[in-house]
Amino acid sequence: GAGVSQSPSNKVTEKGKDVELRCDPISGHTALYWYRQSLGQGLEFLIYFQGNSAPDKSGLPSDRFSAERTGGSVSTLTIQRTQQEDSAVYLCASSLASLAGTRGELFFGEGSRLTVL
């Protein structure tokens, strides 16, 4: 596709429910990132995928959060037993390679806005 695509764009859920957020990166981009942006805050790193290497999950805030990337392309971020503090915009980005990411050459999707009631 022309850009990074994320779905759903908005998700309202009840506390305790599970949610899945999807990211379709730019074709050919080997690196994929998930960030979280809370109101009035900078972006917070969650997880990084690079090719077939083991992902860097060091930013995941708790074991309720998990992510996978299938076939080196589409990624899904899953939040189990959602809590109100999980409410935020979840942003996915991709880059050509990790060096491009080091230079900040990331292409972001428009985000999935999650509201937990």
Residues contributing to the site for other proteins (CB under 8 A): 4, 31, 33, 35, 40-45, 48, 50, 56, 59, 91, 93, 98, 101-106, 108-111, 113
Q: Where on the phi/psi map is residue 34: left (φ > 0), alpha (ψ -120 to 50), or beta?
A: beta
Question: Minimum distance between the CB of residue 16 and other proteins, rounded to whole angstroms?
Answer: 27
Cβ closest to other proteins, residue 44 vs residue 87: 44
Which two three-digit tokens encode residue 21?
A: 């957020």
Do the beta carbons of residue 24 and residue 3 sit within 8 Å? no
Please classify residue 57 by burial: count the beta carbons closer than 10 Å to its beta carbon, then call 0-12 exposed, 13-18 middle and 19+ buried: middle
Residue 108: CB minimum distance to other proteins, A: 3
Q: 64 or 108: whose CB is closer to other proteins?
A: 108
CB closer to other proteins, 12 vs 17: 12
